[in-house]
Structure 1
Amino acid sequence: MPTIRLLDGSTMPSLGLGTWRMGESRSQRAAELAALRCALDLGYRLIDTAEMYGEGGAEQVIGEALAAAMRAGDVARENLFVVSKAYPHHAGRKSLPQACTQSLQRLGLDHIDLYLLHWRGSVPLSETVDAMRELVAAGRIRRWGVSNFDVDDLQELAEACGAEFDCVANQVYFSVTERGLEHSLLPWQRQRNMPLMAYSPIDQGALASDKGLAQIAQGLGVSSAQLALAWVLSRPGVLAIPKAVRESHLADNLAAASLVLGDDVLAQIDRLHPPPRRKGPLAMI
């Protein structure tokens, strides 16, 4: 699995598993556990979640799956990279440690590898930065970042950080049809060696039926969904966390991480879904 280097010198896998909408229904729990175990068996080591997903339900399902895999010796904790996100109203100096503790309990872990602020709220960024740094110092999280931040948000965050800009990642909606962030946000992050985590890189599955992509993909012997994911992963400094439950989709996404796109293919995609000419609003789901 290719990796992305973070500001602190560590690395994280360039492809992970998203878990949005997991943990919302008890009737789906067995299928979700099976999907997570299948992902681990296939080689996924990056798992992304949030306290918002199923109001903690997704973290509980992940915790159960990870515990079973580690008990069986199928995966070691040091080889996992677990990401979770905190609600904006939990981003304060007192409330963030409490939210982190609850996430750790649901996940059954003693630390979170990357802890993100899910989106901006009313809590001052300086207070959130201090709270995140205290969690790092306490060993409860290894590093921290943000989600759904545009350039102006990151610039304000950089001011709040002071001399040391230690926010290691920004997770945003990015796909071949949602390329607006390529105008300003992605260049800003690249200049600071700050990886971009792309959620919904296949437009929640919609790009699987994109006829234009399908024509290009046919010549490569892959699916349009694989091509769309490979395109996101081909962007320097970008990693992706598509959600998948079926074993075939999990395997297809993993194979897309190894797909190398030539300049001619990238040019065809640019003609089909052109890059932005001006800055627009940040896409969000």
Structure 2
Amino acid sequence: MKEVKLAGQMVPAIGIGTWHMGDDPTKEDQEIQAIRAGLDAGAKVVDTAEMYGDGNSETLVGQALAPYQRSEIYLISKVLPNNASQAQMEAHLDASLQRLQTDYLDLYLYHWRGNIPLAETIAELDRLKQTGKIRAWGVSNFDVPDLEELWQLPTGKNVAANENLYNLETRGIEFNLTDWQAEHELPLIAYSPVGGQHNELHTTMLINPVVQEIAAQHQVSPHEILLAWTIHAGNTIAIPQSSQVKHVAANVKAAEIELTPTELKQLDREYPSPDHRVPLAVN
């Protein structure tokens, strides 16, 4: 199973996303079982955020993780831009920790840039790391200019990851961001790697004949091929989200799929890498 180093820890390259989870009480048991199925299949990374369902996702994750050894989970959450100030961030972190039923996060991400000065947000993230409430901090939805600005800050190089929308059809970050991150040894966390649970991105990837043909050759689903593609470069962790037990377990196992050079070229022909800069995709 492919692994990636995240803040000094080796973790499986496919984790568990939880966006849109925790909002429907009738699905609570099913969603808890889905998260647990992913962990039981070998996942370690669980990604959530205070924004997701206004805390509902974190509450659900806390319930799902209750039977597990905390040290066996790599837990990520995110702070909203409006809450990322020196005055407010710790209180919001404490609220996330309470919902998650834990006393620390492995990684705390600045969800996207807002109006608070970046220097203030990063200084506070680094201070919170010193308290032990977070083991590492990172960013999300940052493009190259954002990372270059971050790199100039006194503690900016302590950043542990950047989380962005990335999949076979949405490859804009390959123009220069993925190379920048590889050069600076900054792991990428890819959200919506198969286009979202309900295909919010209206992608054609899952019904693409070439994707389906490669999936058939490997005797797996198109979802699994898309995940294997997302992590094939070696510096990326994919965090697909699903509420289906069977689906989540299969997603995790996709980290064992090796796509051949021929298959990668076939997929490139269907969804080429960009030859010009495009705006950062955000969902």
Return the TM-score normalized by structure 2: 0.94
**1:200-257 deviations in Å (ceiling 9; x for gaps):** 0001154332333112322232222111110001023111000012122112212211
Deviation at 1:85, TM superposition (A): 0.5
**1:92-139 deviations in Å (ceiling 9; x for gaps):** 112111110000000010100000011000011100111001110000
Between the aligned partners of 1:223 and 1:229, the Cα distance in structure 2 is 10
Which residue is 1:230 aligned to? 228
Deviation at 1:175, TM superposition (A): 0.2
**1:2-30 deviations in Å (ceiling 9; x for gaps):** 32113x53333311000000121222222
Distance 1:40 1:5, change over 3 A: closer
Between the aligned partners of 1:65 and 1:219, the Cα distance in structure 2 is 35
1:103 aligns with 2:102: no
Structure 1: runs of 5 or more not aligned: 71-75
Which residue is 1:187 aligned to? 179
Which residue is 2:202 aligned to? none
Between the aligned partners of 1:225 and 1:232, the Cα distance in structure 2 is 11
> Displaced runs of 4+ in structure 1, greater than 4 A?
none
**1:61-83 deviations in Å (ceiling 9; x for gaps):** 1111111x13xxxxx21111000
Between the aligned partners of 1:244 and 1:225, the Cα distance in structure 2 is 11
Which residue is 1:82 aligned to? 75
SS of equivalent to 1:115: strand
Deviates more, 1:215-224 or 1:128-137: 215-224
Between the aligned partners of 1:81 and 1:258, the Cα distance in structure 2 is 20
Counterpart code for 1:199: Y
Query: 1:1-285 maps to which residues of 2 (within 5 A)?
Result: 1-6=1-6, 8-67=7-66, 69-70=67-68, 76-161=69-154, 165-205=157-197, 206=199, 207-285=205-283
Between the aligned partners of 1:33 and 1:16, the Cα distance in structure 2 is 15
Asked whether the 8 Å contact 1:129–1:161 carries over to 2, the reply is: no
Identity %: 39
Asked whether the 8 Å contact 2:206–2:223 carries over to 1, the reply is: yes
SS of equivalent to 1:116: strand
SS of equivalent to 1:168: coil
Deviation at 1:279, TM superposition (A): 1.1
Distance 1:77 1:235, change over 3 A: same
SS of equivalent to 1:218: helix
Structure with larger RCO (C-alpha < 8 A, sep 6+) = 2
Aligned length: 277
Structure 2: runs of 5 or more not aligned: 200-204
Counterpart code for 1:66: L
